[in-house]
Amino acid sequence: MASIRKSNNAFYITASISRNGESIRRYMTWKKPKDMNARDACKQAQRIADDFEQKLKQGFEIDPSITFSAFTTKWQSEYAAKQHRHTTIVREEKLLERINSHLGTIRLYKITAGDIRNCLSEIAANRQDKKCVCKTDLSKMLRSRNIKKATFVKEAQIAYSTFAKVLRGEAVSMNTIAKISRILNLEETKDYELVSGGGKYSGKTILHYYRLISKILTDAVRWEYILNNPCLRVEPPKVRKKRVDYLDDKQTKQFVSALKNAKDPYRTAVLLLLHLGCRRGELLGLQWDDIDLTDNTVDISKALLYTPERGVYMDETKTDESIRRLAIHPTVSCALKEYKAWQGEQRELAGDQWQDTNFVFTKWNGTPVRPDTFTSWVRRFVEKNNLPKITPKGLRHTSATLLIMNGLNVRSLANRLGHAKTSTTTDIYSHALKSMDEIAANILENAINQGFADD
């Protein structure tokens, strides 16, 4: 039987077993939570000791030397690199930089719920995404050095839309300025200045940290490195529900009216986005083989993504349920036929410089429109036409809201949007569903009152 030695709030557990004629002894430490009384703590320590001993008998081995940082490196290479999309991996790497600064040196099996709470509290209280504004005319600087913008953003590994913000004098992250400075040798105070920084992170941001820590520790349990996940004893950060941005009926009509005067490929791309309600990457990842202009259908099975490190690339859809076939109205098919003819004219104009990528929405040389470029175009279009502020994601929400307000049921809407669960749909579009419920109440009231009136 495993032995337990108590010292203050810590329980030191020793388990001994015999394996192949050899005596094996392993140790672990469990700390009593502050809100647990002494009697319950002793019972819990005994349960943990029994479980620890049983795991050892089953062949379970704890590596007492492995730290959280060392395990996350293993987790990234053996799990995340194989299971997660590139954009997710990039985001996780940034989160782990902060997490490892607090938990990295702690041995994996010694991490407690208190350690995790302290880690999240420190991250929440010390926001590090400082914002800077560039004071120097970078366009002029690039011209003087004979450097093209497209070449520069690729070398600096920043998105073109981010660089466009710098050129417009908008605030960008310190990390972006550092990447630009690495090539152009910018000087602080002379070429750029800090405009904001510090403060606290929102609950949603901290929830991303919490979920990543919990996922890593859950896998540590599954891989038999630790006995339990201490993150389960930490309450997740509370997140205030974000308002869904969308256009109402009147605003949508104004938007579409202004769209008639826009230029392709963006005019047709935005029109199709409104009709499909798809994600931005799904829209830009469409190829002509995915569209049947006779049967009026669009097959969505992939997405076009972009990161500064990797550039533009094709990836799988967000979930398996995101692979779907969507119907479009014949008028949309006619618009796509006209657009395809226009694209053919652009191919002739580009001549040898045209690249046959088969993408539906392309730049002048046949290469696909980048996701960030598309978002920037929508922003400029809205500003130019004095329309309500909206993003490609907001146009997706607009499409979904219009369908709900016109009577489409939640299950059909979830299928059209590519949601894995209808609960996701009802949670996001509760505003529209509430309005429809009020309409239903009015319909019943009129029907019931009419019955009384007839009597």
Domains of the chain: 3-57 (no CATH), 68-126+201-233 (1.10.150.130), 131-196 (1.10.260.40), 249-392 (1.10.443.10)
Per-residue pLDDT tens for 350-409?
A: 999 999 999 999 999 999 999 999 999 999 999 999 999 999 999 999 999 988 888 888
C-alpha span between 269 and 39 (Å, rounded): 66
Q: Please give the pLDDT value at position 177.
A: 84
Q: How confident is the model at residue 445 (pLDDT cuts 50, 70, 90)?
A: low
**Integer CA distances (angstroms), 293 to 217, 259, 284, 328, 337, in order:** 49, 22, 18, 9, 8
Average pLDDT (136-143) is 87
Average pLDDT over residues 428-439: 74
Band of pLDDT at residue 450, cut at 50, 70 and 90 = low
Tell me how far apart the terminal alpha carbons of the chain are, to the nearest angstrom.
82
Helices (H), 126-202: 138-144, 149-156, 160-167, 174-184
Which residues is 133 bridged to in the sheet? 193
Please report the DSSP string for 80-131 in residue order. Answer: IHHHS-HHHHHHHHHHHHHHHHHHTTSBGGG--HHHHHHHHHHHHHS----E
Q: Count Cβ atoms below 10 Å from residue 109 Cβ, excluding itself.
A: 22
**What percent of the chain has a predicted confidence (pLDDT) above 70?**
93
Residues 214, 229: contact at Cβ < 8 Å? yes
Per-residue tokens: 351: 């001549």
Q: Is the pLDDT of residue 191 over 80?
A: no
Is it the case that residue 22 has pLDDT exceeding 80? Answer: no
pLDDT of residue 62: 60
Tell me the three state secondary structure of residue 291: strand
Q: What is the DSSP string of 396-418?
A: HHHHHHHHHHTT--HHHHHHHHT
User: Residue 256: its pLDDT value, please?
Assistant: 95
In this prediction, residue 53 carries a pLDDT of 82
Q: Which of 67-81, 103-117, 430-444 has the lowest mean pLDDT?
A: 430-444
**Higher per-residue pLDDT: 224 or 275:** 275
pLDDT value, residue 451: 55
| pLDDT for 442 beyond 60 | yes
Provide the pLDDT confidence category of residue 134 given band limits of 50, 70 and 90.
confident
Residue 439 has pLDDT above 80, yes or no: no
Report the pLDDT averaged over residues 315-322.
Answer: 84
What whole-number distance in Å separates Cα of residue 286 and Cα of residue 360? Answer: 6
Q: Is the pLDDT of residue 453 over 60?
A: no
- What's the pLDDT at 408? 85
Q: Hey, what amino acid is at 312?
A: V
CA-CA distance, 120 to 129, in Å (whole number)?
A: 16
Q: Does residue 18 or residue 95 have the better pLDDT?
A: 95
Give the model's pLDDT for residue 63. 67
The predicted pLDDT at position 374 comes to 95
pLDDT over 90 at 443, yes or no: no
φ, ψ at 16 (rounded to 5°): -125, 135
Tell me how far apart the alpha carbons of residues 261 and 305 are, in angstroms, rounded to a whole number.
Answer: 28
**pLDDT the model gives residue 331:** 94
Q: Residue 68: what pLDDT?
A: 95
Query: Helix, strand, coil proportions of the chain in percent (round to 5)?
Result: 55, 15, 30
Mean pLDDT of 435-443: 69
Q: Averaged over 310-318, what is the pLDDT?
A: 86
- The encoded tokens of residue 228 equal 């339990």
Three-class SS state of 196: strand
Q: What is the pLDDT of residue 384?
A: 94
Higher pLDDT, 46 or 17: 46
Predicted pLDDT of residue 129: 66
**Mean pLDDT for the stretch of residues 107-116:** 90
pLDDT at 345 over 90: yes
pLDDT value at residue 238: 85
pLDDT value, residue 454: 56
Q: Please state, rounded to an integer, the average pLDDT across all residues of the chain.
A: 87
Residues near 316 by beta carbon (within 8 Å), at least 6 away in sequence: 85, 302, 303
Q: Given this model, what pLDDT does residue 399 score?
A: 92
Instruction: Name the DSSP letter for residue 370.
Output: P
Of residues 281 and 203, more confidence is placed in: 281
Mean pLDDT calculated for residue range 196-203:
70
**Considering all CA atoms of the chain, what is the largest pairwise distance in Å, rounded to the nearest integer?**
93
